[in-house]
Structure 1
């Protein structure tokens, strides 16, 4: 049987905490859309996690590479989107533990031989009691391109933090572009800003990656973009839960509310007679970052 081995760097102090967290958590979780932990080993400085082997690597390998993007047509992407949503819903509501992932991103979505998605990397995940609504930390860990604004700036996390990350991921799957590649979006800081601008301008079809634009029905495209923008709204209370998201993805008859503007959508340039300025953390979509948040 093929397996995947994740080896912890011997000099990584914080890494051991994350290693232990991952073992304790994922051993108790079982869902088709979560990666399976087969075993672990600790001997001296050597710390190893053994996972099921997923031959198709990770989602970012396909959606951001112009040579591979046609390998994931709209039918496959829809299955991937729905699978990620189901995996998150399980973590938030249906597992024995209530879990906030805190580092959901394209490189942490692994794909099996049939291109079914599996959420991986639970090193930064947090367990919630059923009574908790949100938590806070002075040590912000995660990936800035996917971080909710309340978490990036204040260290506040909740199930709505994962919903925000899911919304970013959904926009990336639809567009084939990284949220952090803001140089691609003219005046806009990131994909969220660009997506919002084409949405309010009624040009949302421009957001779609060219290979799927020919396959997806116009009304379906609008619905998926609407859901994504609802997930990345600036105010956490405005965002849907993953239960809501799964219901919206599975029903074409549900009337979706108009989203409010997303976080970090501001313009990044100064124009004649107008000044636009914003201070946001830089985005590194594939690098997990630790930072100390500043209070407001």
Structure 2
């Protein structure tokens, strides 16, 4: 998937959005009062909160036809919810027959996630819009057949782009920075709402990329509203991906907005090293990326020994070091010591601007 390239010059798209008034989203997992208060509030100048009655209701037969009966070569991936397929929706209009490429996620009844997460995703994406959140086009609810239909993201997930086997086809440093900025803006928007929203399962596989490598967060089945006023955390059962989860959440079930920040720091390490957060195929001392890499991040010389070898000779050494320091801040053991996503966005944008084409120093 994707196109091989060295250092493409990709402009960072505007993430500005307008807040539109309207009915509050029907998100049962957040109080109506919180959504009313948040409805007219901008978060980092991005996105909007709107009711979206335009979500299409698809029949199971339509989606079966769109994916050509779930043909194997249309399979995009598989997760706790179920399988995701590439599909083509056909629609007749006065101007002729139109085609829309979509991603269709079918619920696996025996999977780790189920009806609750399916409904939560509809409520969530039906009420929020942001350039760095995936767009939900519609859904299917027909007997036991549940599905979600999204815009199709041509370049797949950050996980696939980072960890595919080919060493000649990879993400350049400027593109990696662009992706980090976009993903950070998505989280900053969620955290900036009146009743903060915690993503809870932020990881590289939940960052999708469009044709210009704009990052969009996906898979909102585990999102939780942040703590009510006067409280610092939400207590909940652990659900998510262990290698990305913050220590306080893993150990106690206490979930903070800053728990997402920790997960973001782990993804920054993956972007730096080109290695998975956890890989049982690596030697035991290196299986957990953070445990192995953390002692090496404070020294520029040691950092160069663990950074993705595909980047060497074609990246800004200083910006690589800055990203490493930012990652260290994000993975602080104590949640309150981690920076906010708003601060992280500003730091990333500053790093990105300073390492723009024409200002690169070779590694």
Task: Note whether the superposition's TM-score is higher than 0.5.
Answer: yes
Please state how far the C-alpha of 1:201 moved relative to its aligned partner: 5.0
- Structure 1 residues 187 and 11: alpha-carbon distance in aligned structure 2, compared to 1, 3 A threshold: closer
Q: Find the aligned partners of 1:12 and 1:159 in 2 and give their Cα distance.
A: 27
Match of 2:256 in 1: 158
1:60 equivalent among 159, 164, 183: 159
Please state how far the C-alpha of 1:184 moved relative to its aligned partner: 3.1
Residue 125 (1) aligns with residue 223 (2): yes
SS at match of 2:147: strand
Match of 1:21 in 2: 120
Equivalent pair of 2:132/2:216 in contact (CA under 8 Å): yes
1:135 equivalent among 220, 234, 238: 234
Equivalent pair of 2:177/2:348 in contact (CA under 8 Å): no
- Structure 1 residues 97 and 31: alpha-carbon distance in aligned structure 2, compared to 1, 3 A threshold: farther
Q: Find the aligned partners of 1:130 and 1:195 in 2 and give their Cα distance.
A: 36
- Structure 1 residues 113 and 13: alpha-carbon distance in aligned structure 2, compared to 1, 3 A threshold: closer
SS at match of 1:142: coil
SS at match of 2:105: strand
Q: Find the aligned partners of 2:199 and 2:321 in 1 and give their Cα distance.
A: 28
Match of 2:146 in 1: 47
Residue 213 (1) aligns with residue 306 (2): no
- Structure 1 residues 13 and 151: alpha-carbon distance in aligned structure 2, compared to 1, 3 A threshold: closer
1:178 equivalent among 273, 276, 300: 276
- CA deviation string 1:118-141 (max 9, x = no partner): 10000000123662531011x210
Within-5 A mapping of 1:67-216: 67=166, 70-93=169-192, 95=193, 98-128=196-226, 131=229, 132-137=231-236, 139-181=237-279, 184=282, 187-188=285-286, 190-200=288-298, 202=300, 203-216=302-315
Equivalent pair of 1:70/1:211 in contact (CA under 8 Å): no
- CA deviation string 1:161-205 (max 9, x = no partner): 100010000100111001112653663452112222212455112
TM-score using structure 2 length: 0.65
Q: Find the aligned partners of 2:139 and 2:249 in 1 and give their Cα distance.
A: 31
Equivalent pair of 2:226/2:257 in contact (CA under 8 Å): no
Q: Find the aligned partners of 1:110 and 1:188 in 2 and give their Cα distance.
A: 27
Equivalent pair of 1:185/1:191 in contact (CA under 8 Å): no
Greater CA drift, 3-12 or 117-126 = 3-12
Equivalent pair of 1:91/1:100 in contact (CA under 8 Å): yes
- CA deviation string 1:17-76 (max 9, x = no partner): 111111111111111111000011211111111100112111111101230673311111
Q: Find the aligned partners of 2:350 and 2:198 in 1 and give their Cα distance.
A: 26
SS at match of 1:211: coil
Q: Find the aligned partners of 2:272 and 2:105 in 1 and give their Cα distance.
A: 30
Q: Find the aligned partners of 1:200 and 1:14 in 2 and give their Cα distance.
A: 39
Unaligned runs of 5+ in 1: 253-296
SS at match of 1:34: coil
TM-score using structure 1 length: 0.79
Equivalent pair of 2:134/2:216 in contact (CA under 8 Å): yes
Greater CA drift, 231-240 or 4-13 = 4-13
Within-5 A mapping of 1:265-276: none
Q: Find the aligned partners of 1:106 and 1:166 in 2 and give their Cα distance.
A: 9
Q: Find the aligned partners of 1:61 and 1:74 in 2 and give their Cα distance.
A: 16
- Structure 1 residues 176 and 41: alpha-carbon distance in aligned structure 2, compared to 1, 3 A threshold: same
Please state how far the C-alpha of 1:225 moved relative to its aligned partner: 0.4
Which of these two proteins has the greater Rg computed from alpha carbons? 2
